[in-house]
Amino acid sequence: MPQKTMMGYTSPEQALLQLASIKKTTKKLKKHLQKYLDETNTKNTEDAEPLERAKANLNLAYISAALFYMLLRVHGVETSGHPIMEELQRIKERFQVLRKLIGQEDTRSLVIDGEATGRILAATLKDLSADKKRKLRKRRKTKQ
């Protein structure tokens, strides 16, 4: 019967592989924790925009789930069939949805009301001659 080591592994190689996995997860965790701290440090999350608040909450959810995942791995628990993997996948999917929403928000186009712009310009530029104002109105009508 093989002898179990401290973390539940039978060989030092398995323990080293596990440590490498934990190191990789720790780096990801540190990145998400820094993002969370940056977002919550600069402003109160209650005052933040909904998408910013969602991003901060997702980072916090990921941090919590990743810490629990690491705890399971350190104790030698097999995580491939564990519900924590479903939770991590769910959080990953929510990040993708959030990225799409943020992208849609950034790509909204600005619609300019040409008629209103012409009226504003004509009223503000009072020192234009009547001829130049007529040309401006004519140009505005041809663009519509």
CA distance 46 to 33: 19
Phi–psi pair at 78, nearest 5 degrees: -70, 125
SS3 119: helix
Q: How far is CA 86 from CA 1, 92, 144, in A?
A: 33, 10, 54
For 23-75, the pLDDT digits (tens) are 888 888 888 788 777 767 655 656 778 888 888 889 889 888 988 888 888 78
Secondary structure (DSSP) of 32-55: HHHHHHHHHHHS-TTTS-HHHHHH
Predicted structure pTM score: 0.53
CA distance 5 to 15: 9
**pLDDT value of position 32:** 78
pLDDT at 2 over 60: no
**pLDDT value of position 83:** 94
